[in-house]
């Protein structure tokens, strides 16, 4: 499950406990400006669980200095050894500009931060004089005994190629379909199942007994995705047909499109439909899946049961 940015912070401990009690393996927390802080949420979730893995997706590369980011991750690893999956990305550039930290070259900034944080987590003393990371003999006093893979939360071909070179894996934002996963791995120069490259994705969960009701519920969300200028759905083998269907029939066309299209797009429909989508992602090489519930705490509480049921399959 993914903890939506709009949820109140106190809900994270309830969600973490419920997921672990039900046998789910992971909880992902989100850091979007200017909502809640990812490391704080992750720390809270780790301290009330014993087995649950907590992912952080993502920390903007330039919102903190590289040593502070490394300290945050190392501290989380101390709270839950072997249970942390940290992600670092560009962050939304408009938000970075609001804070006065927007880099001239997001690619260069991300590479310098990823390399510095990875070395610091490995216990190295780091001296680096780059464009965005300027360190003089910095070493963490309490690096993790077993550093986690450092995942890059990125989107475009250049950033994916960068991730393939210097990161320990990827975090692909929703909507991440199996076809988009395969395309992303290709851009990163990696293969499915690469043991040195952890692949995590996000999706949006909507499970109903009547799949048609689930499709109607999620049609506005899908329409919004199709209107984005850089939607990952362009990698779909049926994207042109999907776009044409939406242009001709609008929301009704999306709600009534073939069930196999929905199965490719997201964990939407019946429990069996959602399970089929998750299996397709795993077949494409995905190792971690964070599913966003509906943005309502009361509804999310009911969806926890769906996440637990899917985790058992």
In tens, the pLDDT along 228-281 reads 877 788 889 999 999 999 999 999 999 999 999 999 999 999 999 999 999 999
Return the pLDDT at 230. 77
Contact 199, 180 (CB under 8 A): no
Return the pLDDT at 263. 95
In tens, the pLDDT along 101-154 reads 999 999 999 999 999 999 999 999 999 999 999 999 999 999 999 999 999 999
Residues facing 195 on adjacent strands: none
In tens, the pLDDT along 172-197 reads 998 899 999 999 999 999 999 899 99
| Range name among 16-25, 43-52, 180-189, 233-242 with the lowest pLDDT average | 233-242
Return the pLDDT at 123. 99
Mean of per-residue pLDDT scores for the chain: 96
pLDDT above 90: percentage of residues in the chain: 94
For 7-48, the DSSP string reads: S-TTHHHHHHHHHHHHT--EEEE---TTS--HHHHHHHHHHT
Domains, the chain, ranges and CATH?
A: 2-209+267-311 (3.20.20.30)
Return the pLDDT at 175. 84
22 pLDDT band, cuts 50/70/90, is very high
Residues facing 292 on adjacent strands: 204
Contact 27, 19 (CB under 8 A): yes
Convert 32-61 to b/e letters by CB count within 10 Å (16 or more is b).
Answer: eeeebbbbebbbbbbeebeebbbbbbbbbb
Torsion sign (Cα): 89, 94, 99, 101: positive
86: DSSP letter: E
159 pLDDT band, cuts 50/70/90, is very high
Contact 26, 288 (CB under 8 A): yes
Tell me what the mean pLDDT of segment 221-232 comes to.
88
Burial class (CB within 10 angstroms; exposed 0-12, middle 13-18, buried 19+) of 209 = exposed
Tell me what the mean pLDDT of segment 90-94 comes to.
96
């Amino acid at each position: 499950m993914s903890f939506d940015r709009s949820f109140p912070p106190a809900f994270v401990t309830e969600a973490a406990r419920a997921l672990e009690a039900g046998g789910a393996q992971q909880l992902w927390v989100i850091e979007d400006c200017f909502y809640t802080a990812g490391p704080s949420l992750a720390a809270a979730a780790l301290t009330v669980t014993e087995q649950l893995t907590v992912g952080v997706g993502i920390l903007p590369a330039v919102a903190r200095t590289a040593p502070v980011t490394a300290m945050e991750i190392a501290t989380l690893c101390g709270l839950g050894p072997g249970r942390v999956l940290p992600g670092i990305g560009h962050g939304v550039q408009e938000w970075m500009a609001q804070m006065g930290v927007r880099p001239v070259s997001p690619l260069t900034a991300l590479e310098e931060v990823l390399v510095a944080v990875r070395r610091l987590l490995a216990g190295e003393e780091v001296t680096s004089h780059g464009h965005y990371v300027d360190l003089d003999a910095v070493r963490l006093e309490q690096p993790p005994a077993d550093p986690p893979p450092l995942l890059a939360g990125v989107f475009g071909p250049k950033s994916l190629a960068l991730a393939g070179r210097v990161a320990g894996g990827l975090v692909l934002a929703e909507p991440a379909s199996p076809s988009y996963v395969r395309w992303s791995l290709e851009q990163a120069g990696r293969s499915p199942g690469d043991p040195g490259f952890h692949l995590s994705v996000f999706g949006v969960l909507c499970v109903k007994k009547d799949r048609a009701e689930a499709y109607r519920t999620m049609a506005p969300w899908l329409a919004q995705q199709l209107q984005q200028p850089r939607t990952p759905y362009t990698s779909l083998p049926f994207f042109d047909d999907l776009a044409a269907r939406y242009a001709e029939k609008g929301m009704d066309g999306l709600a009534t499109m073939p069930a196999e299209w929905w199965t490719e797009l997201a964990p939407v429909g019946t429990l069996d439909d959602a399970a089929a989508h998750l299996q397709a992602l795993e077949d494409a090489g995905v190792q971690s899946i964070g599913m966003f519930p509906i943005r309502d705490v009361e509804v999310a509480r009911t969806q926890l049961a769906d996440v637990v049921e899917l985790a058992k399959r």
